[in-house]
Amino acid sequence: MTEDYRVPVAETDRIRAALAVQLIAAATGVSAERMCARRHRGSRACRARWLALYLAHIAFGWPLERVGHAFGLNRATVSAACRWAEDERDRPALDVWLDRLEACARDICDAPACDLPT
């Protein structure tokens, strides 16, 4: 039996990847569960996941390989998703929408840390 190869990923990268997925889920109405399902996602959920990959790439300034590691995907898959998203940005409404989501993700991640009481 062969197990999938997984690169160790920092917890902060996993949290940021989950943020990108949740932002896209909130903005598209496609649930995070559907986007992250391994099979039978459907084209709408697949495109939403591609947008989450792209959002992580542009909002966090991650190289494609790091995005792939955080999402458990290979670099080629991330590259294809990002190419598709870049092509879709030719649509002005989508371009503005992605700019807003990128700013939102950056605002959240750049906010000062909140120390929670123990």
What pLDDT score does 118 carry? 83
Give domain status of residue 117, yes or no. Answer: no
Per-residue pLDDT reduced to its tens digit, 92-106: 999 999 999 999 999
Token pair, residue 59, equals 């909002």
The structural domain count of the chain equals 1
Give domain status of residue 115, yes or no. Answer: no
| Domain that includes residue 31, residue range | 11-109
Could you say which DSSP state residue 72 is in? T
Integer Cα distance of 33 and 84 in angstroms: 22
What CATH number is associated with residue 50? 1.10.1750.10
Give domain status of residue 83, yes or no. Answer: yes
Give domain status of residue 31, yes or no. Answer: yes
Give domain status of residue 66, yes or no. Answer: yes
Residue 40, pLDDT above cutoff 80: no
Give domain status of residue 22, yes or no. Answer: yes
pTM, to two decimals? 0.90
